[in-house]
Amino acid sequence: MPHGTSADAALRQQFLAQVQKLWPAIRGSLSEVRKPCIRPHCAACARGDKHPAFLLSFTENGRRRCMYVPAELVPRLQQGLQNGRQLEALLSQLGPRLLRHYRQARDSSHAP
């Protein structure tokens, strides 16, 4: 068995265990907007208060898009956004960690 393989497998297991805990994970941003409604003589709209609404902005095929989010789903999406940021941080950390492992494995196989 070449040196470094068990370390690689351990990193893989560690990564999969962490990813498992990060569901749901999404990427984008959630914002609150105020929209007028279509009801005639609406007191809130007449006051200029309008109605709070939530928008999820995301990128699809390089284009910025957004979708309305019902208020009761906002906490779940916020959790998804937080998990998504953790997942991205995890991937960023993995680059240097993997490279160190691969270099160590290469160096030890080249050693006399």
What are the residues binding Zn ion (CB under 5 A)? 37, 42, 44-45
Least separation in angstroms between residue 82's CB and Zn ion is 32
What DSSP designation does 72 have? Answer: G
Q: What is the CA radius of gyration of the chain?
A: 23
Q: Using the minimum distance from each CB to Zn ion, give the nearer residue, 22 or 44.
A: 44
Q: Using the minimum distance from each CB to Zn ion, give the nearer residue, 55 or 98.
A: 55
Q: Using the minimum distance from each CB to Zn ion, give the nearer residue, 49 or 88.
A: 49
**For the residues of 21-38, what is the DSSP string, one character each?**
TT-S---SEEEEEEE--S
Task: Say which residues have a Cβ less than 8 Å from residue 8's Cβ, sequence separation at least 6.
Answer: 98, 101, 105
Residue number with the shortest CB distance to Zn ion?
42
Least separation in angstroms between residue 31's CB and Zn ion is 20
